[in-house]
Amino acid sequence: MSRTVIHGGLVVTASDEIHADVLIEGGRIAALAAPGTDAATSWSADRRIDATGMYVLPGGVDAHTHMEMPFGGTYAADTFETGTRAAAWGGTTTIVDFAIQTMGRSLREGLDTWHAKADGRCAVDYGFHMILSDVNESSLKEMDRLVAEGVTSFKLFMAYPGVFYSDDGRILRAMQRASGNGGLVMMHAENGIAIDVLVEQALAEGRTDPRYHGDVRKVALEAEATHRAVQLARVAGAPLYVVHVSADEAVDEIAAARHKGLPVFGETCPQYLFLSTDNLAEPGFEGAKYVCSTPLRPREHQEVLWRGLRTNELQVVSTDHCPFCFSGQKEMGRGDFSKIPNGMPGVEHRMDLLHQAVVDGHLSRRRWVEIACASPARMFGLYPKKGTIAPGADADVVIYDPGAEQTISAETHHMAVDYSAYEGRRVTGQVRTVLSRGVPVIEDRAYVGHAGHGTYLPRGTCQYL
């Protein structure tokens, strides 16, 4: 059985910061020991990694990605191969992607399609959520089977009428089913029916630029949908996880629900913490690079999101990685913002941007690891296999250099997309080495992994309930 020792580093988990050496055996964490003790010095190893001056972190868990997602007549540009490789470069060793049920088809068919896309191609481990597009008797029954086999979370949309949208009755039925089978409903909370009216009016009045994408997807319509989702979950007696929260008033709705003791959880994404409507308003058609839904908000919302992350009103930061190239894809919406494919690249830079938030004083180091590794693992039934460094856990380990400076750029990133939403941004901190189940994937900033190393992760149910 191969043995690796990581020595000299500061092990940071959601609960602890300790100077400890780490022994890895057969792909799992075998032991931690204080440096220089008999225990640590007696370990024999095939590989020794010097982590002096570095953090030793659990691999990141990105619980919201869309590799190869079909959207608006095109496909997200990262395949499972390129996207998971980019994830590894950024210290993320687990992704949970969204399999899609096509309208009129079964959940099984959608899940099989996503398995076929991912199987044998991933550089790091992966699991699936299921997007429920067609709630009916048969798909409700299928939910039970999926939960039993490890697809334990289901995304529903209050937005995108005619595509993914479910009305309140369908949402209530899915939530009732989830309350019985242990599934977790993930909600895209925007009032899509009202948004579509505003889109039509904007276009008719000649307001066609990317900035109007942000204008029509109003804060009130995110907050209203969040409130409605909470009430429906309350009626169903089901837990609720609100995805990609961007508006201050939506945070307020989640906080109010949690203060009442309801099992309501919230996720935000780096784009809402670091970017704003200023980006959507960039000159020419540049704003298209930042079109995603929920949309970027005015800068003032950022402080509310940071506060929500500090006070646990929000529990998880995922990327909602859904990259479309500017050239040929985002450009589909020139002259009509509603035709710009919704989504942004980000899987590679979540850990670094959140480390920058540590440097800037928004988060503590442990909270960084909590929202990026431990909480998403717990939320989606992967803990403590993923999300921590403790005996028995998978040896998904990141050796992180907290002092390295880097400039984020499309020139140097590894995502298969022709722009960076953070072009030119200087950040402090960078991944040095990444192990996935004890196997090096990134070694001293060189990719040494391979497609097919990543394995499928059947998941348990939410561990916060």
Give the footprint of Zn ion on this chain (CB under 5 A).
188, 320
Residue type at 62? D
CA dihedral over 88, 90, 91, 94, signed as positive or negative: negative
Residue 188 or residue 385: which is nearer to Zn ion going by CB?
A: 188
Binding residues among 60-99 for ligand URP as defined by CB under 6 A: 66
Residues 192, 323, 343, 387: which binds ligand URP (CB under 6 A)?
343
**Count of residues making up the chain:** 465
Contact 309, 265 (CB under 8 A): no
Residue 219 or residue 395: which is nearer to ligand URP going by CB?
A: 219
The entry of Zn ion, ligand URP, none near residue 343 (CB within 5 to 8 angstroms by kind) is: ligand URP
In the sheet that holds 92-100, the strands lie side by side as 60-65, 92-100, 125-131, 153-157, 184-188, 240-242, 264-268, 316-317
Residue type at 362? H
> How far apart are CB 55 and ligand URP at their closest, in Å?
30
> How far apart are CB 374 and ligand URP at their closest, in Å?
23
The three-state secondary structure class of 441 is strand
Contact 366, 355 (CB under 8 A): no
Residue 343 or residue 429: which is nearer to ligand URP going by CB?
A: 343
Residue 13 or residue 246: which is nearer to Zn ion going by CB?
A: 246
Contact 393, 58 (CB under 8 A): yes
Residue 21 or residue 62: which is nearer to Zn ion going by CB?
A: 62
- Of the candidates 224, 226, 233, which has an alpha carbon nearest to the alpha carbon of residue 262? 233
Q: Tell me the H-state helices in 135-218.
A: 137-149, 168-181, 192-204, 211-216
Cα(340)–Cα(324) distance, rounded to whole angstroms? 9
Residues 322, 372, 389, 434: which binds ligand URP (CB under 6 A)?
322
> How far apart are CB 320 and ligand URP at their closest, in Å?
5
Residue nearest to ligand URP (CB): 342
Encoded one letter per residue, x for contact with ligand URP by CB under 6 A and - for no contact, window 209-248 reads -----------------------------------x----
> How far apart are CB 78 and ligand URP at their closest, in Å?
12
The entry of ligand URP, Zn ion, none near residue 132 (CB within 5 to 8 angstroms by kind) is: none
In the sheet that holds 426-436, the strands lie side by side as 17-19, 10-12, 55-58, 397-407, 426-436, 439-443, 446-447
CA dihedral over 78, 79, 81, 84, signed as positive or negative: positive
Per-residue burial over 408-420, b if 16 or more Cβ lie within 10 Å, else e, is: beeeebbbbbbbb
Q: How many CB atoms lie within 10 A of CB 165?
A: 18
The entry of ligand URP, Zn ion, none near residue 342 (CB within 5 to 8 angstroms by kind) is: ligand URP
Total site size for ligand URP, rule CB under 6 A: 9
The entry of ligand URP, Zn ion, none near residue 224 (CB within 5 to 8 angstroms by kind) is: none
Cα(141)–Cα(396) distance, rounded to whole angstroms? 35
| Site membership for ligand URP, residue 123 (CB under 6 A) | no
The entry of ligand URP, Zn ion, none near residue 267 (CB within 5 to 8 angstroms by kind) is: none
Encoded one letter per residue, x for contact with ligand URP by CB under 6 A and - for no contact, window 284-313 reads --------xx--------------------
Cα(289)–Cα(295) distance, rounded to whole angstroms? 12
Encoded one letter per residue, x for contact with ligand URP by CB under 6 A and - for no contact, window 131-170 reads ----------------------------------------
The entry of Zn ion, ligand URP, none near residue 420 (CB within 5 to 8 angstroms by kind) is: none
> How far apart are CB 100 and Zn ion at their closest, in Å?
11
Residue nearest to Zn ion (CB): 188
- Of the candidates 237, 188, 241, 194, which has an alpha carbon nearest to the alpha carbon of residue 216? 194
| Site membership for ligand URP, residue 188 (CB under 6 A) | yes
Interface residues with ligand URP (CB under 6 A)?
66, 188, 244, 292-293, 320, 322, 342-343
